[in-house]
Amino acid sequence: MNRRIDITLTVNGERVSRSVDTRIHLIDFLRGELGLTGAHTACEHGVCGACTVRVDGDAVRGCLVLAASLDGAAVETIEGLSDSGEIRDLQEAFVARNAAQCGYCTPGMLVTAADILTQAPNASREEIREHISGNYCRCTGYQAIVDAVEDTLTARRTREAVR
């Protein structure tokens, strides 16, 4: 079996072709090959959520995805979500609520929380906590993170109502 695989995929909308070592996961590919260091490497066994990115529209653990398996896939990272403006209000709420302390978990938190904004616009605090339960914050700043997500949901609902 091959130990190197040629893959072509899109990353944040840009077409990328590389020959990758079959043993590397998506996060080492993004960070090492493409220089996209927003998604963080942490536990590397699927527990902490710091490496959360999107593959084909779904939030996934980047450390539990083989880079070699991504031929034809569409990957979005926190860099892409930031540039597109999709979660600008959420990011501003994180700043306003001081929801990033050391900041290590923040990219994963944002990608995970972005799903709540689209899938559960009326989520309660309890539901927000449940949805981000797979993302660790070792500063234990969860209260502020839930505040920031809740503020964003409330603001979006208010804007929707005015419109």
The answer to whether 94 and 100 are in contact (CB under 8 A) is yes
Q: Shortest gap between Cβ of 46 and other proteins (angstroms)?
A: 5
Give whichever of 68 and 90 is closer to other proteins, judged by the CB atom: 68
> Please, which of residues 20-39 interact with other proteins by CB under 8 A?
22-25, 28
Using CB under 8 A, pick the residue from 82, 134, 150, 156 that binds other proteins.
Answer: 134
What dihedral angle (degrees, nearest 10) is formed by the CA atoms of 19, 11, 110, 113?
-110
> Can residue 40 be called a binding residue for other proteins (CB under 8 A)?
no
Interaction of residue 125 with other proteins, rule CB under 8 A:
no
Count of residues engaged in binding other proteins, rule: CB under 8 A: 33
Question: Which of 19, 98, 124, 133 forms a contact with other proteins (CB under 8 A)?
Answer: 133
* Binds other proteins (CB under 8 A): choice among 31, 40, 97, 131: 131
By CB under 8 A, residue 60 contacts other proteins: yes
3-state secondary structure of 75: strand
The partner residues of 61 in beta bridges, in order of sequence, read 52
d(CA 30, CA 140): 27
Residue 120 makes contact with other proteins by CB under 8 A: no
In the numeric block, the tokens 């995970």 are attached to 112
When binding is defined by CB under 8 A, the residue of 14, 45, 85, 118 that contacts other proteins is 45
Question: Please, are residues 9 and 75 in contact by the beta-carbon 8 Å criterion?
Answer: yes
Which residues are CB-neighbours of 17 under 8 A, at least 6 positions away?
6, 7, 8
For position 46 contacting other proteins by CB under 8 A, the verdict is yes
Cα 24 from chain centre? 19
